[in-house]
């Protein structure tokens, strides 16, 4: 029998709240039963998968997952627990979590709590005990899908859940960046003079760390900060960060970046920042079938024999055919030939679709921060 059709042999949750009934229902009506963990809740969102073998605390706290229910393809999650030292933001940003097997007894010197306890504290439901391989194969064939994840499920709810799943609002229609960006301007390395303005679209903590250790003053501004306000800081360079959702929702940010480029201020985009920079330059973006979410994506540097292994988390990409003539592709994904970075042929504007700060993943491309900073005065 298909692993996502049999919903009637779930374990009874009475007396053992660590083993709640739970269910995942996709927009096509397919049903995936399992054991619940984390919070007692029902959420809907875009169901995506990450193929990384490690780094689940970093992924769970990555603001780029805001609006999404994350499925981990690696079969065991939680075995080294949760450490706040690994967080990429202040708290979990996913809306729901899917694992094949969840470890309740983590063993690691830095572990502070279990994944289930952590998600429960933050109101996020999870489901375990389902065939994540079959789910991932389904998403690869069909493309990412909307879904509902509910813990403490009873089989009487199924009919209404299936109806509800067909009507789930697409979170990518929301301005998700506005929901995760910083609410106020923050500065780091205040005593230094050389200033980089960081447009926070949902920045990962390790991007900040990579800049802080390179001895520049960082002015972190909300995503919709106006051009004039940014210029008050007299920045020598601009970084547009990663973030969630459809880049075309970032209308104000795109306009600001376009205006900053008119001043010839060196700019560096990361992930969503790559897409925003391309849109500001006059290019176009599109949604990928199932995106790139992993720690082992090979990227070729155009015009060279080099190929780097990169960490990635994105569901949209730049259409290189739409780029104006002064712009060129910089990196290309060796698996599917999609764009992984763009740059201007003569001006100091550049961006990458992958994550040079890693966390989790390889640090092969962290040198790109130095490359960018070498362009600023």
**Burial bucket for residue 7 (CB in 10 Å: 0-12, 13-18, 19+):** middle
Active site residue 357: yes
Angle at 236 between CA 234 and CA 242, to 5 degrees: 105
Which of 66, 175, 292, 355 is labelled catalytic?
Answer: 355
DSSP letters for 303-318:
TSS-EEEEEEEEEEEE
Which of 71, 250, 271, 299 is labelled catalytic?
Answer: 271
232-266 burial, b if ≥16 CB within 10 A, otherwise e? Answer: eeebbbbbbbbbbbbbebbebbbebbbbbbeeebb
- Tally the residues of the chain: 377
86, 294 Cβ separation under 8 angstroms: no
Alpha helices in the chain (DSSP H): 56-60, 115-121, 132-142, 158-165, 177-180, 205-212, 227-231, 251-262, 272-280, 367-373
Give the residue among 45, 40, 73 at the shortest CA–CA distance from 59: 73
Active site residue 371: no
372, 237 Cβ separation under 8 angstroms: yes
Angle at 314 between CA 310 and CA 320, to 5 degrees: 85
Give the residue among 262, 304, 308, 305 at the shortest CA–CA distance from 281: 262
Give CA–CA dist 172/287, Å, rounded.
10
Helices (H), strands (E): how many in the chain? 10, 19
130, 72 Cβ separation under 8 angstroms: no
CA distance to 210, 240, 286, 300, per residue, from 344 (Å): 24, 16, 20, 18
Give CA–CA dist 46/244, Å, rounded.
11
Kindly list the catalytic residues: 271, 355, 357
């Amino acid at each position: 029998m298909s692993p996502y059709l049999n919903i009637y042999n779930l374990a009874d949750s009475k007396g053992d709240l660590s083993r709640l009934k739970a269910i995942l229902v996709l927009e096509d009506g397919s049903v995936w039963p399992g054991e619940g963990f984390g919070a007692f809740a029902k959420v809907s969102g875009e169901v995506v998968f990450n193929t990384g073998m490690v780094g689940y605390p970093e992924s769970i706290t990555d603001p780029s997952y805001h609006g999404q229910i994350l499925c981990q393809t690696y079969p065991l999650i939680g075995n080294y627990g949760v450490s706040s030292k690994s967080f990429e933001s202040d708290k979990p940003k996913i809306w729901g979590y899917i694992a094949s097997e969840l470890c309740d007894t983590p063993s690691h010197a830095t572990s502070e709590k279990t994944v289930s306890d952590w998600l429960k504290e933050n109101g996020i439901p999870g489901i375990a005990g389902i065939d994540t391989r079959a789910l991932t194969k389904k998403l690869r064939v069909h493309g990412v899908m909307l879904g509902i994840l509910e813990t403490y499920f009873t089989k009487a709810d199924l009919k209404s859940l299936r109806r509800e799943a067909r009507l789930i609002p697409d979170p990518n229609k929301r301005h998700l960046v506005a929901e995760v960006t910083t609410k106020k301007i923050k500065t780091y390395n205040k005593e230094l003079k050389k200033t980089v303005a960081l447009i926070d679209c949902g920045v990962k903590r390790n991007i900040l760390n990579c800049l802080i250790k390179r001895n520049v003053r960082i002015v972190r501004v909300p995503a919709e900060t106006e051009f004039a306000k940014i210029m008050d800081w007299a920045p020598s360079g601009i970084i547009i960060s990663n973030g969630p959702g459809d880049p075309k929702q970032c209308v104000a940010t795109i306009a600001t970046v376009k205006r900053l480029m008119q001043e010839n201020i060196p700019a560096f985009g990361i992930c969503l920042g790559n897409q925003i920079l391309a849109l500001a330059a006059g290019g176009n973006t599109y949604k990928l079938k199932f995106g790139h979410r992993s720690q082992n994506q090979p990227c070729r540097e155009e015009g060279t024999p080099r190929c780097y292994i990169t960490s990635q988390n994105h569901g949209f990409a730049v259409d290189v055919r739409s780029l104006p003539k002064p712009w060129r592709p910089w990196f290309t994904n060796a698996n599917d030939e999609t764009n992984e970075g763009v740059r201007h042929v003569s001006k100091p504007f550049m961006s990458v679709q992958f994550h040079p700060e890693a966390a989790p993943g390889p640090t092969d491309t962290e040198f790109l921060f130095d490359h960018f900073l070498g362009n600023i005065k």
